[in-house]
């Protein structure tokens, strides 16, 4: 069985035992990155929505 060690950008060592495990590891890393990207985008959208709500509330309070 072929064995190699891969070091992630976070400094963790991942031992790869065969090529199918390598493909699975790459798939997992890509999946995690996609989830992080969507979570960041969601956070940005929620922050923008909250900022818009704050502006509307301030404008409404000025009118009264």
pLDDT tens-digit readout, 30-53: 889 999 999 999 999 999 988 888
Encoded tokens for 62: 């000025």
Rounded Cα gap, residues 48 and 42, in angstroms: 10
Q: Give the chain's domain count.
A: 1
Q: What burial letters (b/e) apply to 14-31, b meaning 16+ CB within 10 Å?
A: eebeeeebeeeeeeeeee
Rounded Cα gap, residues 54 and 24, in angstroms: 45
Rounded Cα gap, residues 15 and 21, in angstroms: 9
pLDDT tens-digit readout, 50-62: 888 877 777 777 7
Domain that holds residue 13: 4-63
> 25 near 16, Cβ under 8 Å?
yes
């Amino acid at each position: 069985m072929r064995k190699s060690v891969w070091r992630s950008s976070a400094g963790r060592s991942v031992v790869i035992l065969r090529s199918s495990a390598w493909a699975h590891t790459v798939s997992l890393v890509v999946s995690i990155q996609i989830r992080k990207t969507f979570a960041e985008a969601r956070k940005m959208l929620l922050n923008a929505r909250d900022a818009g709500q704050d502006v509307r509330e301030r404008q409404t309070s000025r009118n009264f």
